[in-house]
Amino acid sequence: MGLLIWEYYNGGVSGHHFLKRKDMPFISNWWGLILLPLVTFLSLKRIGKGINYNPELSNQHLIKHHLLPFLIAVLFAILIVVFSSTGNSEISYFMFLALFIVALFIPIYKSEYFLGFILGLSYSFGGALPVIIAIVLTTIFYLIFNYIRPIFIFIGNKISKK
């Protein structure tokens, strides 16, 4: 919200075009005022449902399964922003493509990764564009992990039995 207020009083609230192309739709950063709190609430609600409130579990479990994935996603998104904004867009492009390989091994479609990715990108790309991108990517990553990955596991098991 503070960033939007600052933008409003210093030249107006900016926005972004899809793929940085003027012929693509323009998304105003004002949408982030609605989308970021909504996505954060829904993601935290999903994360809360996945937490087993067993008193025998240590904080290490919560850190490993919830906080660490969130922080990794935030850091990854910030690195994409840094490389893309410093003129190293090739590196950010390859980092983006690497996510599809990572999705074969790690369930990066989960809410912790989703929220971290959005929040990491939101400072540079506003609130709406990261949400749209993350929804599309999360759907693809879910399909990769739950439908493509088992095919590779099945083939690997068949090859190893021979």
pTM: 0.83
Do 134 and 43 form a contact (C-beta atoms < 8 A)? no
Say how far apart CA 111 and CA 142 lie, in whole Å: 11
Mean pLDDT by 10 residues, the chain (162 residues): 64 67 75 86 91 72 89 97 92 95 96 96 84 95 98 93 76
**pLDDT value at residue 151:** 96
CA–CA separation, 114 and 132 (whole Å): 11
